[in-house]
Amino acid sequence: MQTEKQLINIEIDHDQIEAIILENVQQHLSNIDNNKLFYTMEDLQEITGMSKGFIEIRFFHDPRFEKIRRKVGRKWLFPVNQTRSFLNEWINEQPND
């Protein structure tokens, strides 16, 4: 009778792998964001998950946002720090239904 010997035993902790991946993704996104001085409309759509039309209807014409946005040529630019502050303030004002 042959006895099988187990030479290697590999255990994978899926929760730990997921945590490491999430941490790396967050760090990568943070690095991207830290390198920018301005958001474009496309950036704004991506970071909020909102469409251009939704942004224009909901807060683009908010007087506080009008003070920080700049039109340079044909392109809208939004200073990153001021835009993030505004968006945090704006979302906290929205009804939580």
Helix (H, G, I), strand (E, B) or coil at 71: strand
Do the domain assignments include residue 64?
yes
Using the predicted structure, report yes or no on whether residue 2 has a pLDDT greater than 70: no
Q: Per the confidence metrics, is the pTM higher than 0.85? A: no
What does the alpha-carbon distance between residue 70 and residue 50 come to, in Å, rounded to a whole number? 20
Which residue segment(s) compose the domain that 66 sits in?
Answer: 40-92
| Number of separate domains in the chain | 1
Per the model's pLDDT, the better-predicted residue between 3 and 69 turns out to be 69
Do the domain assignments include residue 30?
no
* Ramachandran area for residue 73 (φ above 0: left; ψ -120 to 50: alpha; else beta): left
Q: What is the torsional sign of CA 68, 72, 76, 79?
A: negative
Specify the range with the lowest mean pLDDT, choosing from 2-6, 55-59, 86-90. 2-6
Do the domain assignments include residue 31?
no
Pinpoint the alpha helices (H) of 1-97.
14-34, 41-48, 52-55, 63-68, 80-93
Per the model's pLDDT, the better-predicted residue between 26 and 71 turns out to be 71
What pLDDT sits at residue 69? 97
What does the alpha-carbon distance between residue 67 and residue 40 come to, in Å, rounded to a whole number? 16
What pLDDT sits at residue 42? 95
Do the domain assignments include residue 48?
yes
Do the domain assignments include residue 59?
yes
Q: Which amino acid is at 27?
A: Q
Q: pLDDT by residue (tens digit) across 13-70?
A: 888 888 888 788 777 767 666 778 999 999 999 999 999 999 999 999 999 999 999 9
Do the domain assignments include residue 3?
no
